[in-house]
Amino acid sequence: MEKVLKTKRKIRFQDCDPFNHLNNSKYLEYFINVREDQIEEHYGLDIFKYLKTTGLSWVVASNQISYMKPAFTMETVVIESQLIQFTNNMLLVEMKMWNENETELKAILWIKFIHYNVQTKKVADHSDDLMKLFQSVVIPVDETIFEKRYIEIIQKSYI
């Protein structure tokens, strides 16, 4: 099973600012939309069907993002994601946006998801099946502080 998932996307005009750069807030939309598609395609997990059948889903608890280079109108980018940490009720996903050739890093994101019961409006534990899935795809990273991980990635990307 693939652990690092990659998807190409074209940056759309309506998502850009007057300088033809992807608007800062739109990075989050591109990242989250791609991640939803990736987990359905690669892991067979449709989070909307999951919500309808179980009453459970994930909510975003926090985002940490760093922007390195602009993404431009109509540019094709590669969005990469991987699970880097999980607990019985939390997921931490690291995502990167690259140019099409993956030679220029545009942004790095850590997004923390909390498993949530929409009926009780409380945090919920992951099922055993989900925990097995997470165990099979997680790629732990040594750095637990985003800023330090950011520096580590930058140094590896530009050596």
pLDDT tens string, the chain, 159 residues long: the values are 999 999 999 999 999 999 999 999 999 999 999 999 999 999 999 999 999 999 999 999 999 999 999 999 999 999 999 999 999 999 999 999 999 999 999 999 999 999 999 999 999 999 999 999 999 999 999 999 999 999 999 888 764
Q: Is the dihedral of CA 141, 30, 1, 127 positive or negative?
A: positive
**Domain membership of residue 87 as a residue range:** 5-157
What's the domain count of the chain?
1
The whole-model pTM stands at 0.96
| Look-up of token digits 């409380």 | 122
User: What's residue 82's pLDDT?
Assistant: 98
Q: What is the CATH number of the domain that holds 62?
A: 3.10.129.10
Long-range CB contact pairs, 150-156, < 8 A, 24+: 150/66, 150/108, 153/96, 153/105, 153/108, 154/68, 154/105
pLDDT at 158: 64
Residue type (1 letter), 24: N
